[in-house]
Amino acid sequence: MYSPNSLGADELAGRQRAREAQTMKPFTGWFEITGKDGPAPQRFYSKLFDWSINDAGDHSGCGLVEAGEKGIAGGIGASQDGAHGGFTFYVEAGDPAAFSGRAERLGGKTVVPPTKIPDFGLTFAFFADPDGHVVGLSGGAVQ
């Protein structure tokens, strides 16, 4: 049996985030816009909305849009599969696995199962609603 004193700092922090995730109300926390040619939608949205779009710095070609005073941050770049791309919004749900299961029970379908990215403290997943609209789920994207 573990006592709180025997747990490492990372494990304690993880348990605290898990407790917070269970009590938070999900909210839209991130958006992505992708296209065949990543720089093209970056130029379009930069000119359309006067957004400053900065390179993500990870060699992905993704440009980052800072959150406005009453908005959310996002990314604009090339679609990973070279297709036409699209628009995805992510709901910061705290526990993507729990919400993926809930979506399935309500008639949705898991598109990408919960996937952890430890370097960023992030877990993400995708589901399709009963009409086929794909929505992203995130845990840890917004601190």
Q: Is residue 65 part of a domain?
A: yes
Q: Is residue 67 part of a domain?
A: yes
Whether residue 42 lies inside any domain: the answer is yes
- What integer best gives the mean pLDDT of the chain? 83
Report the number of distinct structural domains present in the chain: 1
What residues make up the domain containing 131?
A: 26-139
Core vs surface per residue 34-65: b (16+ CB within 10 A) or e: bbeebeebbeebbeeeebebeeeeeeeebbbb
Q: What is the pLDDT of residue 107?
A: 93
Q: 129 or 140, which is more confident?
A: 129
Q: How confident is the model at residue 8 (pLDDT cuts 50, 70, 90)?
A: low
Residue 77 lies in a domain: yes
Give a yes or no: residue 21 inside a domain. Answer: no
User: Could you tell me if residue 64 is inside a domain?
Assistant: yes
29-46 average pLDDT score = 89
User: The domain spanning residue 127 has which CATH number?
Assistant: 3.10.180.10
